[in-house]
């Protein structure tokens, strides 16, 4: 242990090697900590979360990987929402103001994850291609690596690591081991997704979010293909077929909106299915451990905020660890919980129809003096939702809540709610 960091965290074991894990490893190794990641390469043919938001661009620049990401990705200049035959909204990132980046990327997730992992290695993080064996210390809430894992690392940490970080995502290794309670969202949906050869894309590079007969769908243009996902209630998904492939293929042919935007689309990959999201851990730090990324909490694929929240959490955790004080760790926990809860609220406004009913009313009243005066300001701050940065501005969140309460006029939001 170096004398300059005596009493602080010097060795860190990170469980997992997804974007949040690799981001954290890069930042800590760059700062001189001894960092190892325990990573069993993924076997899944596809990974959810292929669309970035502008708020993630400064993180890629800080890690030093934006040029590489750009080389294999599709430029994403905005987002388009198709809510009915006559209600559509398109948002262009070049209209964002302030320090927010005015573009993003749609990324092949396997290459994106490889890029971030390679960056962590360049910064000095060590990767052990094996799962870590973690045990709870009897009579405590501490955890440690088991003897077999320490032996396999050839005493990399010089004993037990000072901190174990769970970045295993939906595996949630430490929460399950320690019995950490979690808060579930109200949605009990199923997400089905695959890649298809082509779909209708109204605006080049835009992520398209479409309200379906039941649920909603995303279309993410990637190089040479389109990621097409469907999010719908569990019961309706089960009625659509016996297997996830049957459910996906049948919905593609039967849903009235998908028949319009994906006519003739051919599925070119297996189908992936997710059911366990909208979950926030009640605790994210403890005695010798911390949670980051999807392990800390995850919300919903709408608005493409998942990768931003995970990587932003890694930046916040790195700052707390380098500070080294209990107050800094608790502040990290409070901020992550706040961001996740805020995004749950935003997602609810999408599902209950209030968000886009407010935008619809704004369009309907666009010729009135009051709206002409207020709309640019409202649009600026509500547009932060689509940049990914909505949860970082108390003023933007407050304005959103005001608009959701008072900005619907006499319009019934059920007309644009997700069924």
Which pLDDT does position 9 carry in this prediction? 93
Which pLDDT does position 196 carry in this prediction? 98
We report the CATH number of the domain holding residue 264 as: 3.30.9.100
Give yes or no: residues 147 and 31 share one domain.
yes
Q: Is pLDDT above 80 for 25?
A: yes
| Listed residues 294, 320, 345: the one ending a domain | 345
- Asked whether 180 and 282 are in contact (CB, 8 A), the reply is yes
Q: Is pLDDT above 90 for 222?
A: yes
Give yes or no: residues 288 and 203 share one domain.
no
**Size of the chain, expressed as the number of residues it contains:** 419
Give yes or no: residues 363 and 296 share one domain.
no
Mean pLDDT for 271-293 is 91
Confidence of residue 8 (pLDDT cuts 50, 70, 90): confident
Residue 64 lies in a domain: no
pLDDT, tens only, 88-109: 999 999 888 777 899 999 999 9
Which pLDDT does position 97 carry in this prediction? 73
Residue 157 lies in a domain: yes
Burial class (CB in 10 A: 0-12, 13-18, 19+), 126: middle
Confidence of residue 372 (pLDDT cuts 50, 70, 90): low
Confidence of residue 373 (pLDDT cuts 50, 70, 90): low
How would you classify the pairing of strands 163-166 and 289-291? parallel
Give yes or no: residues 115 and 168 share one domain.
yes
Residue 176 lies in a domain: yes
| 3-state DSSP assignment of residue 279 | strand
Higher pLDDT, 380 or 419: 419
Give yes or no: residues 252 and 302 share one domain.
no
Give yes or no: residues 358 and 338 share one domain.
no
| 3-state DSSP assignment of residue 197 | coil
Name the percent of the chain lying above pLDDT 70. 93
Which range scores top for mean pLDDT: 120-129, 351-360, 371-380? 120-129
Q: Is pLDDT above 80 for 379?
A: no
We report the CATH number of the domain holding residue 37 as: 3.50.50.60
Mean pLDDT for 292-316 is 94
Which pLDDT does position 365 carry in this prediction? 65
Mean pLDDT for 314-338 is 95
Confidence of residue 1 (pLDDT cuts 50, 70, 90): very low
Mean pLDDT for 125-138 is 96
Domain residues for the domain of 236 are: 189-274
Give yes or no: residues 155 and 282 share one domain.
yes
Q: Is pLDDT above 50 for 3?
A: no
Give yes or no: residues 31 and 116 share one domain.
yes
Q: Is pLDDT above 80 for 383?
A: no
Residue 60 lies in a domain: no
Confidence of residue 5 (pLDDT cuts 50, 70, 90): very low
Mean pLDDT for 402-418 is 91
Q: Is pLDDT above 70 for 15?
A: yes
- Give how many domains the chain has, as a whole number: 3
Q: Is pLDDT above 50 for 137?
A: yes
Residue 88 lies in a domain: no
Residue/partner pairs of 336-339 with CB below 8 Å, 24 or more apart: 336/284, 336/296, 336/297, 337/280, 337/284, 337/297, 338/391, 339/309, 339/312, 339/313, 339/391, 339/392
374-380-382-388 Cα dihedral, nearest 10 degrees: 180
Which pLDDT does position 352 carry in this prediction? 96
What pTM value is reported for the model? 0.93
| Listed residues 345, 379, 394: the one ending a domain | 345
Give yes or no: residues 209 and 318 share one domain.
no
Residue 322 lies in a domain: yes
Residue 57 lies in a domain: no
Give the relative orientation of helices 369-382 and 354-364 as an angle to the nearest 10 degrees.
140
pLDDT, tens only, 328-366: 999 999 999 999 988 989 999 999 999 999 888 877 666
Give yes or no: residues 18 and 126 share one domain.
yes
Mean pLDDT for 307-334 is 96
Give yes or no: residues 157 and 29 share one domain.
yes
pLDDT, tens only, 156-186: 999 999 999 999 998 999 999 999 999 887 7
What is the CB-side half-sphere exposure of residue 9 using CA atoms within 13 A? 28
Residue 67 lies in a domain: no
Q: Is pLDDT above 60 for 217?
A: yes
| Listed residues 327, 345, 363: the one ending a domain | 345
Average per-residue pLDDT in the chain?
91
Give yes or no: residues 255 and 294 share one domain.
no
pLDDT, tens only, 198-213: 999 999 999 999 999 9
């Amino acid at each position: 242990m170096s004398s300059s960091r005596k009493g602080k965290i010097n060795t860190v074991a990170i469980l997992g090697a997804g974007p949040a894990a690799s981001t954290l490893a890069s930042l800590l190794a760059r700062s001189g900590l001894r960092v190892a990641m325990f990573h069993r390469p993924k076997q899944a043919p596809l990974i959810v979360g292929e669309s970035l938001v502008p708020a993630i661009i400064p993180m890629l620049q800080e890690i030093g990987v934006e040029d590489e990401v750009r080389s294999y990705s599709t430029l994403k200049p905005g987002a388009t929402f198709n809510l009915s035959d006559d209600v559509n909204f398109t948002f262009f990132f070049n209209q964002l103001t302030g320090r927010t980046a005015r573009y993003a990327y749609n990324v092949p997730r396997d290459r994106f994850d490889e890029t971030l992992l390679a960056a962590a290695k360049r910064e000095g993080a060590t990767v052990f291609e094996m799962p870590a064996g973690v045990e709870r210390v009897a009579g405590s809430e501490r955890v440690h690596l088991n003897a077999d894992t320490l032996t396999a690392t050839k005493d990399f940490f010089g004993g037990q690591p000072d901190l174990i970080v769970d970045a295993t995502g939906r595996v949630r290794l430490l929460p399950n081991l320690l019995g950490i309670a979690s808060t579930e969202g109200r949605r009990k949906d199923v997400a089905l997704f695959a890649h298809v050869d082509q779909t209708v894309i109204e605006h080049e590079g835009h992520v398209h979010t479409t309200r379906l007969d039941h649920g909603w769908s995303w279309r993410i243009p990637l190089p040479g293909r389109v990621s097409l996902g469907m999010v719908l209630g569990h019961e309706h998904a089960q009625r659509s077929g016996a297997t996830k492939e049957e459910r996906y293929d049948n919905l593609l042919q039967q849903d009235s909106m998908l028949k319009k935007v994906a006519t003739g689309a051919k599925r070119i990959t297996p189908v992936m299915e997710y059911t366990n999201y909208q979950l926030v851990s009640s605790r994210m730090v403890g005695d010798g451990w911390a949670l980051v990324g999807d392990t800390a909490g995850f919300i919903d694929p709408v608005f493409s905020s998942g990768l931003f929240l995970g990587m932003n959490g890694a930046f916040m955790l790195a700052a707390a660890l380098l500070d080294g004080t209990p107050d800094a760790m608790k502040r990290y926990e409070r901020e992550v919980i706040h961001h996740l809860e805020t995004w749950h609220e935003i997602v609810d406004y999408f599902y209950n129809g209030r968000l886009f009913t407010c935008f619809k009313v704004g369009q309907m009243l666009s010729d009135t003096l009051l709206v002409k005066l207020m709309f640019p300001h409202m649009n600026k701050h509500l547009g932060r939702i689509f940049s990914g940065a909505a949860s970082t501005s108390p003023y933007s969140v407050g304005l959103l809540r005001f608009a959701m309460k008072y900005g619907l006029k006499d319009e019934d939001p059920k007309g644009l709610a997700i069924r």
